[in-house]
Structure 1
Amino acid sequence: MDRETLILKWLNNNLNDQELKAFKNLEDHDDLVKLNNTLQAFKAPEYDAGKELDSVLQTIRSKKQPKTHWIKPFMRVAAILAICFSLYYYTTTIDTTITTAMAQKTTVELPDASSVSLNAKSVLAFNKNSWKKNREVELQGEAFFKVAKGSSFNVITQTGTVTVYGTQFNVKQRDNYFEVICYEGLVGVTFNSQETKLKPGDSFLIIDGKIIAKEKENSLTPSWLNNESQFKSLPYKQVIAEFERQYNVDIILIGIDSEELFTGNFTHDSIEVALKSITLPLHLTYSQSNDSIILKRE
């Protein structure tokens, strides 16, 4: 049974046990229940809608009755129609939102069978009901997209919009950091009203509002999908920020220039190995206490 029919039968208290179970499994079940409870305050007392409508029509036809007699039942019919319209509008415009926490990754399948892999501490939002007309998602964080063929596909971030002409690409939008890497097909990146088209291996990178040139990308997928973060001549603060997201820790730098460029990688599977990977190349020492890590110059 489709979603709209389930909701309609629920409103009419006409669900059997199997249908009730299906309704409770809807993603926006809790939101629908809350909205319905709120709207109850605006409902007129219990009445038979059909009977009330007949009463309204009879009253309107009768010239002997004063006009004011049909206003109250008419308003009742109008009220229930307004409630139904409001509920329909709410349920068809609400977005589906997927959020990953620190040290968490997940893969999401979109309505057209496109897939999105979300990196740690990221948010993806889209509307299922309007998907056929408008393939569009909003992204905060980092995600790798495999887009099914079809109409235009847009990824909207706070920094820029990515328009898909191909199928596989990675988008990373963090504080003062925006990067798009094309792995297959063709991708368009719109920033400051100008579009840059990327072919496989091309990157578009902005750090602190400045466009940064990058070497050709040779890998077929982003490293984080294989539980590893790689960096090529990036400020050390970007390395630290990613480390904190992957291991859910706070890192304190003492006597270290966070703008110093770093080239290297760290694994997501072992914090001890990862710490050595980001400290040894810069001759740093580290100490750990609970969820805090202090990095110092040797």
Structure 2
Amino acid sequence: MKKNYLLAKWLNNELSAQELAEFEASPDFEKYQKIKKYSEHLEVGALDEDTMLATILQHKKETPKVISISKKWILRIAAIFILGIGLTFAMQNFIPQSQVANYAQKTSFYLPDDSQVVLNSGSKIEFKKWKWKSHRKLELDGEAYFKVAKGRRFEVITNLGKVTVLGTQFDVKARKNKFDVTCYEGRVKVNYKNSQIILTHGQSVTFENNKQINTTTTSLKPEWIDGIIAFKNENIQNILDELQRQYDITIQLKSNTSNSLFTGKLPSNNLEVATRIISTTYNLKARKINSTTIIFEEK
């Protein structure tokens, strides 16, 4: 800043003796001196006002070209932005949304109408958000507990059957060839092949091998939500399949054990206790191969 100030005063011959001595001692003085020398021989032509005006007007005519280019870029950016919003909207509304509970996990989430869903281990749900409140329909693979908000008809579709409700709490389980539905509040309509049944509070139905079994429950919600696996007249293979889902392990059965059915409860958060109950009930020995593999065999 000081150098520029001294340069300006030097060009106007306004430097004091001390300032002049300081300026001449600067490393750039020789360069400044040459510039001043040659600039004194330059001639400035007369000002052509007409030419200057024509140049200014010409620049004004060319200005819209610059604006036009900018508009093109703005339109492109806007188009990309709108396309991005459209794709996001389509993915969130038209493309099926998935919720999964992997083995040894449970997943809780809300649907667009604030209906609550809890997925049991090894289960999956798919649904579309588009016009959800007027078309409340989802597909279930596995087991889930629903607290349905009041509204239009709510449908749960599985590969074994369909459950239809308006506003209620219920549990649906579709595993292999067994279809279980329990109503904890309100009413549900269950469709299984050519059969249709209405369940009310505390009623359950099981369809397996074209047989229908009706039972009742006093529970207010599925016991698996609280870490308990409840079985009613279940064979050992289905019990072991459920343990594999709950603990994310591999279980092998090497025994010609009886076909007796099991009614009882197993913990889903204590594998040692669960295996001990199975071993005692069926007179088997549980052998742990590694952290993820257990073999049940005859004693």
In the other structure, the counterpart of 1:246 is 246
Give RMSD over aligned pairs: 2.7
Percent identity (aligned): 38
In the other structure, the counterpart of 1:272 is 272
Q: Is the 8 A contact 1:237 1:259 kept in 2?
A: no
In the other structure, the counterpart of 2:121 is 120
SS of residue in 2 equivalent to 1:215: strand
Are the structure 2 counterparts of residues 258 and 122 from structure 1 closer, same or farther at C-alpha, using a change threshold of 3 Å?
A: farther
Deviation of residue 217 (structure 1)? 1.4
Deviation of residue 191 (structure 1)? 1.3
- Deviation string 1:149-182 (CA, Å, 9 cap, x unpaired) is 1111000111111001441100001112211011
Equivalenced residues, count: 225
Instruction: Provide the rounded CA distance (Å) in 2 between the counterparts of 1:258 and 1:143.
Output: 31
Q: Which residues in structure 2 correspond to 1:18-97 (within 5 Å)?
A: 48=72, 87=87, 90-91=90-91, 92-97=93-98
Q: Is the 8 A contact 2:152 2:166 kept in 1?
A: no
Task: Could you list the structure 1 runs, at least 4 aligned residues long, displaced by more than 6 angstroms after superposition.
Answer: 83-86
Instruction: Provide the rounded CA distance (Å) in 1 between the counterparts of 2:173 and 2:140.
Output: 9
Structure 1 residue runs of 5 or longer lacking an equivalent are 1-46, 52-79
Instruction: Provide the rounded CA distance (Å) in 2 between the counterparts of 1:88 and 1:249.
Output: 38
Q: Does 1:234 align with 2:230?
A: no
Instruction: Provide the rounded CA distance (Å) in 1 between the counterparts of 2:223 and 2:99.
Output: 22
Report which of the two structures shows the higher radius of gyration computed on alpha carbons: 2
Q: Is the 8 A contact 1:165 1:188 kept in 2?
A: no
Amino acid at match of 1:265: K
Amino acid at match of 1:243: L
In the other structure, the counterpart of 1:11 is none
Q: Is the 8 A contact 2:96 2:128 kept in 1?
A: yes
Amino acid at match of 2:236: Y
Q: Which residues in structure 2 correspond to 1:157-236 (within 5 Å)?
A: 157-207=158-208, 209-236=209-236
Amino acid at match of 2:284: L
SS of residue in 2 equivalent to 1:278: helix
Deviation of residue 263 (structure 1)? 1.4
Are the structure 2 counterparts of residues 86 and 206 from structure 1 closer, same or farther at C-alpha, using a change threshold of 3 Å?
A: same
Instruction: Provide the rounded CA distance (Å) in 2 between the counterparts of 1:90 and 1:100.
Output: 25
Using structure 2 for the length normalisation, give the TM-score.
Answer: 0.68
Amino acid at match of 1:95: P
